[in-house]
Amino acid sequence: NAGVTQTPKFQVLKTGQSMTLQCAQDMNHNSMYWYRQDPGMGLRLIYYSASEGTTDKGEVPNGYNVSRLNKREFSLRLESAAPSQTSVYFCASSEPTPGGNQPQHFGDGTRLSIL
């Protein structure tokens, strides 16, 4: 049971470079999410996709773009990486129901360093 798979696991970029983080889930969930996690800040939502074909901004969307390629895949793109985007990025999926009574399933993260 793969669950949520994120690639790559680690990446080092130079300022100004671009990169796409990949995420795929095999649980047939409608909703997918991208978070970043920084020390002392907790999980912060970057973008989410409530269903295939829709995407919405979360708390910290600036500097990022997303694509919901199909029901399984949701990618996060950094067009011009900045040192402030050094973080651990988590992808998650869930089957949304009213009021949030379904858990989210997370991948193991991509550790991204911007030099």
Partner 1 sequence: SQKIEQNSEALNIQEGKTATLTCNYTNYSPAYLQWYRQDPGRGPVFLLLIRENEKEKRKERLKVTFDTTLKQSLFHITASQPADSATYLCAAADRGSTLGRLYFGRGTQLTVWP
Q: Is 4 in the site for partner 1 (CB under 8 A)?
A: yes
The phi and psi torsions of 94 (rounded to 5 degrees) equal -160, 165
User: What tokens appear for 37 in the block?
Assistant: 């996690």
Q: Which of residues 45-74 bind partner 1 (CB under 8 A)?
A: 45, 48, 50, 56, 58
The residue within the footprint of partner 1, chosen from 36, 94, 112, 114 (CB under 8 A), is 94
Q: Is 85 in the site for partner 1 (CB under 8 A)?
A: no
Q: Is 104 in the site for partner 1 (CB under 8 A)?
A: yes
Buried/exposed code over 86-114 (b: 16+ C-beta within 10 A; e: otherwise): bbebbbbbbebeeeeeeebbbbebbebeb
Residue closer to partner 1 (CB basis): 9 or 77: 9
Q: Which span sits near partner 1 by CB under 8 A: 19-27, 66-74, 75-83, 105-113?
A: 105-113
The residue within the footprint of partner 1, chosen from 76, 107, 112, 114 (CB under 8 A), is 107
Task: For residue 68, give the amino acid letter.
Answer: R
Beta-carbon count within 10 A of 32 CB: 29
Q: How far apart are CA 28 and CA 21, in angstroms?
A: 20
- Residue ranges in contact with partner 1 by CB under 8 A: 4, 30-31, 33, 40-43, 45, 48, 50, 56, 58, 90, 92, 94-109
